[in-house]
Amino acid sequence: MAELVPRELEAGSGTPSNKKPIYTETSGEHAHNGLDSELIVWWDDPDDNNQENPMNWPSRAKWANILIISTISFLVPLVSSMLAPAVQLVMQDFNTTSTSFATFSVSIFVLGFASGPLLLAPLSELYGRVIVYNVTNVLFLGFTIMCAVSETEAMLLASRFLSGFVGVATITIGSGTIADTMPREKRGKAVSIWSVGTILGPMIGPIIGGYVTEVAGWRWMFWVLSIAIGVVAIAAFAILRETNHSVLLERKAARLRKKTGNSNYRSKLASNITSVELLKRSIVRPSRMLIFCPVVTILCTYVAILYGTLYLLFATYSFVFREVYGFSTFAAGLVFIAGALGTLAGLPYMAYFSDKTLKKREAAGKVVTPEDRLSLIITVPGALAFPIGLFIYGWSVEYHIHWIVPQFGTAVTGFGSILIFIGIQTYLIDAFEEYAASAVGANAVLRGTAGALIPLGGLNMYYALGWGWGNSLLAFIALAFAPVPWLVGKYGAKIRSIKRFQIKL
């Protein structure tokens, strides 16, 4: 028996692409994997009107899902850095003078970021996005409350780690939801809105944390966030719909089997291996992509270095502006505003040029590739702005120049970071469409590890080198990696086409 199969899927993608599928008749052998008795279940409306397919949902339904996910993706990293301006007060409460605790109490949350994707990404690809979102939202609320009631250093650190572990779900899986629902030429805007929270959250968190701590004490910052998380979690239960094509087609096949009594209906995306084996493969997939896919390895390493540097800055801002400029706890939280404004400035820039580049190439009749996401107009400003901001920040603090100058430096760094992070995340989604959650999960693993570990020696580095040379060291490292996104944009397609790098995922 012959069937209609979209040509895009013959290239190996399990998620419909941005273009309307072109249906071609294929042989029964190809259609049924050699089993002529099987009835293959697929999106069966060639006119793209079938709203079972998330690609065909109304725009309001797509954006409702993306905005809920984006809101949670903002709250999670907000919790990660919110503690920064209150660290010294927490140390007083727990009677500790450990510099390691001072930075680790902030960065251990990000260590959870590094661990969570290894489990949450494969679970979402096997069992669906929504169940993972809803379960982790409830757990995230519970662990945030545990932070508020912590009585010991160990309890606070454990609660922070677990909060990060479950909270990273939307940051890891959100890419999968976007790939499920948005055509390629519209993903730049969606990824920009979703991604900005992951960068803006850590900058807004200390502002809220500094104010709440000064007014009501450091524990109340966690209570305030718990209320916000609870409200959003309830909204997520009401609004979020499943988008994973494999899961939806399997449900459709199950309905047909039940309705007709014919057990031969089978999803086009169904695997021939057992669920246990599939889960094992899915769990190791992010790690395999990191190790065996060079473009993933090098891009994720670059992101990890920048992300770890940002968290080192977040963990030490309160010390810098208290010791050098005599700021209060609340004022030390306000210093994050400049970085947040720089990040916001990069958002419309990225949203505009990312999708425009693809549309311009398509209009010119050129082949659109994932590497177009790493065009010079995006990679060069971002890669250069990040270290330039570090130089400005470090040396203005070193020479006690007016506080507005280091603030300008953090704004420039924030602008550069959002361009690089969004550009690389969008590239990973486009290049590994079917396994977008795993690709972004691999990114989250490496950057989370760097974000947790790099800040540990931050204060000691600054005390040894000074604020000027300490930040210059970080800037030189960022400059050394600056050509990476440009090189991947130029040669990434060739590298991905090399047979030995095309691992079976």
The tens digit of pLDDT for each residue in 362-374 reads: 777 777 788 888 8
Bridge partners (DSSP) of residue 3 are: 26
Residue 502, pLDDT > 80, answer no
Mean pLDDT to the nearest integer, 114-119: 81
Minimal CA–CA distance to 307: which of 126, 450, 479?
Answer: 450
Residue 292, pLDDT > 90, answer no
Model pLDDT, residue 165: 92
Range name among 72-81, 259-268, 347-356 with the lowest pLDDT average: 347-356
Instruction: Give percent of the chain above pLDDT 70.
Output: 89
Model pLDDT, residue 69: 93
Q: Which residue has the tokens 């419909």?
A: 16
Tens-place pLDDT, residues 435-467: 776 777 788 788 878 877 887 777 788 889 999
Which contiguous run of DSSP H or E holds residue 41? Answer: strand 39-41
First-last CA distance in the chain:
29
The CB density around residue 238, as the number of other CB atoms within 10 Å, is 8
Q: Round to whole Å and give the CA distance between 450 and 441.
A: 14
The CB density around residue 2, as the number of other CB atoms within 10 Å, is 12
Mean pLDDT to the nearest integer, 288-310: 89
Model pLDDT, residue 306: 93
Alpha helices in 128-216 (DSSP H): 129-148, 153-167, 169-181, 187-216
- One-letter amino acid at 291 equals I
Q: What's the DSSP call for residue 4? A: E
Minimal CA–CA distance to 417: which of 482, 335, 332, 334?
Answer: 482
Q: Round to whole Å and give the CA distance between 414 and 289.
A: 28
Q: Over the chain, what is the mean pLDDT? A: 81
Tens-place pLDDT, residues 373-387: 888 887 888 899 999
Mean pLDDT to the nearest integer, 409-432: 88
Model pLDDT, residue 501: 65
- pTM of the predicted protein model: 0.71
Read off the tokens for 51.
């709203």
DSSP 247-267: HHHHHHHHHHHHHH--TTEEE
Model pLDDT, residue 472: 95
Mean pLDDT to the nearest integer, 81-89: 80
Model pLDDT, residue 45: 56
Residue 81, pLDDT > 90, answer no
Model pLDDT, residue 29: 35
Tens-place pLDDT, residues 17-47: 444 333 333 333 333 444 446 788 888 654 4
The CB density around residue 363, as the number of other CB atoms within 10 Å, is 8
Tens-place pLDDT, residues 158-207: 999 999 999 988 888 888 898 889 887 777 778 878 877 777 787 788 78
Model pLDDT, residue 346: 85
Q: Which residue has the tokens 């425009």?
A: 356
Minimal CA–CA distance to 428: which of 496, 362, 503?
Answer: 496
Mean pLDDT to the nearest integer, 279-294: 80
Tens-place pLDDT, residues 126-166: 888 999 999 999 999 999 999 999 888 889 999 999 999 99
The backbone torsions φ and ψ at residue 463, rounded to the nearest 5 degrees and listed phi first, read -65, -30
- Name every residue whose Cβ is closer than 8 Å to that of residue 373 and which is 6 or more positions away in sequence: 188, 354, 357, 358, 423, 426, 427, 430, 489
Task: Write down the domain spans for the chain.
Answer: 3-51+244-273, 54-243+276-501
CA 284 from chain centre, in angstroms, equals 18
**CATH number belonging to domain 54-243+276-501:** 1.20.1250.20
Read off the tokens for 378.
């995006």
Interior angle at CA 246, CA 40 and CA 297, nearest 5 = 130
Model pLDDT, residue 147: 92
The CB density around residue 110, as the number of other CB atoms within 10 Å, is 31
Pair type for strands 3-6 and 39-41: unpaired
Q: What's the DSSP call for residue 410? A: H
